[in-house]
Chain A
Amino acid sequence: MNQTLINVAIQLLPSLIEMIRSRTQHLDPAAPAPDDAAVIAALEAAVTSSVTKDDQWLAAHPVSS
């Protein structure tokens, strides 16, 4: 059970890294200040990527009749 929980946690690391990256990228003084267009484009990309993963999982796990 504990090893299983650790396995789950390890699989979540990419999501956490992405969250931290998105949280801190605008704190870099060398990075350009984000503008509306860039932020909106990033949101659209995140939504598309996220929904695609949902669709892939749902397609791989159909409701059994």
Chain B
Amino acid sequence: MMPTHASRRRSALVVLALVTLALTAACAKAPPTLSPSGAAAFQAKRAVVVLDLVRDTAIAAEAQTPPLVSTTTTRAIVTWHRAAVATIGVVPTGWRSAVATGLDQVDRALADSERAVLAPYLALARALIAEVQR
């Protein structure tokens, strides 16, 4: 059955609302009580949460019938995510370049249909990385 204009609009609104919430949540300054290393850990944890969102989107999309993202692509995303999060945990002050590079590689490997699903979350991750770089 073809989706109606109203149902497409409703879906777009749901995704827009979620991404708006996520962007609002992602744009935070570290509390002033923290030292530079504490502030770095604060920002690093926010990055982990946003990267989790990318990973969770891929896993949820792969679990649909039919899958919106292939298992192969999801495996690549989960593998990248694991490496990125581990890097953040080990180097809370120096993870940005490696994570951004990996994110670009994941993006380039996506099929167009997969990019349509994941693009808002990849953009969110990029926005957070840019925000933390300030």
Q: How many residues of A contact B (CB 8 A)?
A: 42
CB pair B57–A54 under 8 Å, yes or no, is no
Task: Among A4, A13, A24, A47, point to the contact of B64 (Cβ < 8 A).
Answer: A4
Interface status of B59 (Cβ within 8 A of chain A):
yes
- Specify which chain B residues have a CB less than 8 angstroms from the CB of A20 in the assembled complex: 21, 24-25
In the complex, which of the residues A9, A33, A47, A50 contacts B18, with contact meaning CB atoms closer than 8 Å? A9
> Can you list, as one digit per residue, whether each of B1-38 has a CB less than 8 Å from chain A (1) or not (0)?
00100011011001100100110111010010111011
Write the residues of chain A forming the contact surface with B, with a CB cutoff of 8 angstroms: 1-9, 11-13, 15-16, 18-20, 22-24, 26, 33-36, 39-40, 42-44, 46-48, 50-51, 53-55, 57-58, 61, 63
